[in-house]
Amino acid sequence: MTSYALLGWLLLLLLLQFSCLLAWQDYKDYKVFELQPEDDDQVQLLRQLFWQQPHWDFLGSRLSYNESGYRVLVAPNQAESLVKQLQTHMIEYQLLSDDLSQLVKAQREDNQRNKARFTLPFIDVIGAFYTHTEINEYLDSLPQRYPQRALVKQFGWSYERRPLKLLTINNGDGRANKPVIFIDAAMHAREWIAPSLALYIIQQLLDNYAENEQLLKDYDWVIMPVVNADGYEFSHTDSRYWRKNRKPTWDPENIGTDLNRNFGYMWGLDEGASPDPSNETYRGEHAFDQPESQVVRDVLLHYSDRLSFYLSLHSYGNYLLLPWGHTSSFPSNYLDMMQVADAGAMAILQATNGIYSYGSGYHLMYSTSGDSTDYAVGVANATVAITMELPAGGFLGFDPWISHIEGIVTESWVGVRAMALEVEKLDQAKAKKKLISIN
Ligand SMILES: *[C@@H]1O[C@H](CO)[C@@H](O)[C@H](O)[C@H]1NC(C)=O
Ligand SMILES: *[C@@H]1O[C@H](CO)[C@@H](O)[C@H](O)[C@H]1NC(C)=O
Ligand SMILES: *[C@@H]1O[C@H](CO)[C@@H](O)[C@H](O)[C@H]1NC(C)=O
Ligand SMILES: [Zn+2]
């Protein structure tokens, strides 16, 4: 088995199992180990051990392809048996953290310290992670600074009645109904780097307009930095690694639905999402029974007759995932989408040596049903739809340090920019073809 495939496999375990085991704990005395298997035999052995031990949590650490270590998170009472197994099989390991709650606390304090340097609505995107409330305040301040170019719209409310806002950005030339590039982020609460990138994109298009003029010439950009507002706030205040939203389910033991399994295209298939509220990929009782996925649906449908590009920002893993997620077959314009993903991945490779994998979600990762990009292409007629899994950071992948924000968002912007320009190229080629066929 190649190490790439193994990493993908570990990531799968991580995404599906990770915080269902942890959701309500404050990570007191949770241990993080890094394992260094020496050869394929040891890798196989680890695989076996992990299937047998559902309480050991694998954190596919894919900081880059250079990293060979695999991280494991275990509850305090599991640490001893893990160490025993590793020693028995002579697998090298290192204890990275003896008490994960210390890391969560340290990062929280780091963030508070950094934020103290700014006064809302002015923020430094690369200087801290911001709450949904702070981000909304920042968004609300932009139309004043850019009256011709920025407009805040509210499409609805979260379950806990937080206003769900998005920003539309244009170049102020007064031309209406241009094709749209729609970007959303933080459908999953703990993926904090995603809103950071959304904010960075906003600043590039507004504050750094001279350099990015071309991107707005024939396109309007619509940006929603936080979809899962309640879950995201909860990850700031309570449980750092929370993923789902915060609406109660029929099961009093379990709160939250995976918004990215709640969309109404091929929702409810046997594979690719869970009917069980305790699962991290719980799909809800019906498609769109969650207010936050309804809002994204409404935005997609609102712009559906001119939606050139839908980009959903997630973390982590360095993937550009295309539809379909629910089936092994491909949408009709799959090759166009591959061309866009390829442009993004190559631009990043050239800029930083960062390596992205790209292809259909089903083939690259695992099946997903009811995700937002499948809906965007299957129902809302988006020409191109991509889920971008940003690079990992920090201890568990979801928790980069503030000092890493700049590196990640500047690299990612190179990719987003290149993808947008490729979409433009495709649209132009299509328009030309149409013209020729009319002639
Ligand atoms: C891997 O590490 C080598 C040596 O440290 C470095 O030159 C190279 O750029 C790294 N590659 C990636 C993809 O990070
Ligand atoms: C959660 O649901 C997924 C999708 O149905 C399934 O593959 C996975 O095994 C479930 N995880 C747990 C811990 O039950
Ligand atoms: C998407 O395109 C199909 C086929 O042209 C059309 O029937 C459908 O109404 C469109 N969907 C939306 C949401 O506009
Ligand atoms: Zn995600």
Amino acid at 51: W
CA 18 – CA 417 distance, rounded (Å): 32
What are the helix (H) ranges across 305-389? Answer: 334-352, 361-364, 372-378
Answer left, alpha or beta for residue 156, where phi above 0 means left and psi between -120 and 50 means alpha: left
Residue 139 backbone dihedrals phi, psi, to 5 degrees: -55, -45
| Summary count for the chain: helices (H), strands (E) | 13, 12
Tell me the pLDDT of the chain averaged across its residues. Answer: 90
Query: Where does the pLDDT of residue 63 fall: very low under 50, low under 70, confident under 90, or very high at 90 and above?
Result: very low
End-to-end CA distance of the chain: 54
Query: Where does the pLDDT of residue 48 fall: very low under 50, low under 70, confident under 90, or very high at 90 and above?
Result: confident
Task: Give the strand pairing for 180-185 and 150-157.
Answer: unpaired
- Ordered structural domains, the chain, with CATH: 31-99 (3.30.70.340), 122-436 (3.40.630.10)
Higher-pLDDT residue of 50 and 363 is: 363
Q: Does an H or E element contain 166, and which?
A: strand 163-169
In the chain, % of residues over pLDDT 90: 73
Q: Is the dihedral of CA 401, 405, 16, 260 positive or negative?
A: positive
Expressed in angstroms and rounded, the spacing between residue 187 Cα and the centre of ligand 4 is: 6
Measuring from each residue's beta carbon to the nearest atom of ligand 2, which residues come in under 6 Å? Answer: 16-17, 20, 273-274, 279, 281
Nearest to 34 by CA among 82, 80, 76: 82
Measuring from each residue's beta carbon to the nearest atom of ligand 1, which residues come in under 6 Å? Answer: 64-66, 353, 355
Expressed in angstroms and rounded, the spacing between residue 332 Cα and the centre of ligand 3 is: 15
pLDDT digits (tens, 9 = 90+) for 363-421: 998 899 999 999 999 999 999 999 999 998 888 889 999 999 999 999 999 999 999 99
pLDDT tops 70 at residue 11: no
> ∠ CA 5-8-95 to the nearest 5 degrees?
105
**Ligand 3 in contact with 304 (CB < 6 A)?**
yes
Say if residue 43 is exposed, middle or buried (CB neighbours under 10 Å; 0-12, 13-18, 19+): middle
Q: Is the dihedral of CA 30, 6, 377, 438 positive or negative?
A: positive
Locate 128 and state its tokens: 């801290």
CB of 309 closer than 8 Å to CB of 420: yes
HEC states along 94-116? Answer: EEEECCHHHHHHHHHHHHHHHHC
pLDDT tops 60 at residue 207: yes
Expressed in angstroms and rounded, the spacing between residue 349 Cα and the centre of ligand 3 is: 36
Task: Give the strand pairing for 163-169 and 220-224.
Answer: antiparallel
CA 346 – CA 385 distance, rounded (Å): 18
Locate 164 and state its tokens: 């769900």
Residues with catalytic function = 389
Provide the pLDDT for residue 2: 45
Say if residue 112 is exposed, middle or buried (CB neighbours under 10 Å; 0-12, 13-18, 19+): exposed
Atom of ligand 3 nearest to the CA of 301: 13
Expressed in angstroms and rounded, the spacing between residue 381 Cα and the centre of ligand 3 is: 6
Amino acid at 363: H
Say if residue 176 is exposed, middle or buried (CB neighbours under 10 Å; 0-12, 13-18, 19+): exposed
Cis? peptide before 277, omega within 30° of 0: no
Nearest to 215 by CA among 434, 431, 427, 430: 427
Amino acid at 104: V
Under DSSP, the state recorded for 300 is H
Expressed in angstroms and rounded, the spacing between residue 298 Cα and the centre of ligand 2 is: 29
How many Cβ atoms are within 10 Å of 50's Cβ, its own excluded? 18
In the chain, % of residues over pLDDT 70: 90
Average of per-residue pLDDT across 281-305: 98
> How many angstroms separate the Cα of 59 from the Cα of each of 212, 266, 315, 354?
37, 29, 13, 20
Locate 420 and state its tokens: 């947008």
Query: Where does the pLDDT of residue 349 fall: very low under 50, low under 70, confident under 90, or very high at 90 and above?
Result: very high
Report which protein residue has its CA nearest ligand 3's atom 13: 380
Q: Which residues surround ligand 4, an ion (CB under 5 A)?
A: 188, 314
Closest ligand, as measured to the CA of 279: 2
CA 162 – CA 274 distance, rounded (Å): 27
CA 421 – CA 121 distance, rounded (Å): 31
pLDDT digits (tens, 9 = 90+) for 123-144: 999 999 999 999 999 999 999 9
Answer left, alpha or beta for residue 251, where phi above 0 means left and psi between -120 and 50 means alpha: beta
Expressed in angstroms and rounded, the spacing between residue 315 Cα and the centre of ligand 4 is: 5
pLDDT tops 70 at residue 231: yes
**Pocket perturbation via mutation, ligand 2, pick of 12, 16, 276, 362 by most ligand atoms within 8 A of CB:** 16
Report which protein residue has its CA nearest ligand 3's atom 5: 381
Query: Where does the pLDDT of residue 58 fall: very low under 50, low under 70, confident under 90, or very high at 90 and above?
Result: low
CA 17 – CA 31 distance, rounded (Å): 17
Report which protein residue has its CA nearest ligand 2's atom 9: 16
pLDDT tops 80 at residue 313: yes
**Pocket perturbation via mutation, ligand 2, pick of 11, 56, 58, 281 by most ligand atoms within 8 A of CB:** 281
**Ligand 3 in contact with 301 (CB < 6 A)?**
yes
Atom of ligand 2 nearest to the CA of 274: 5
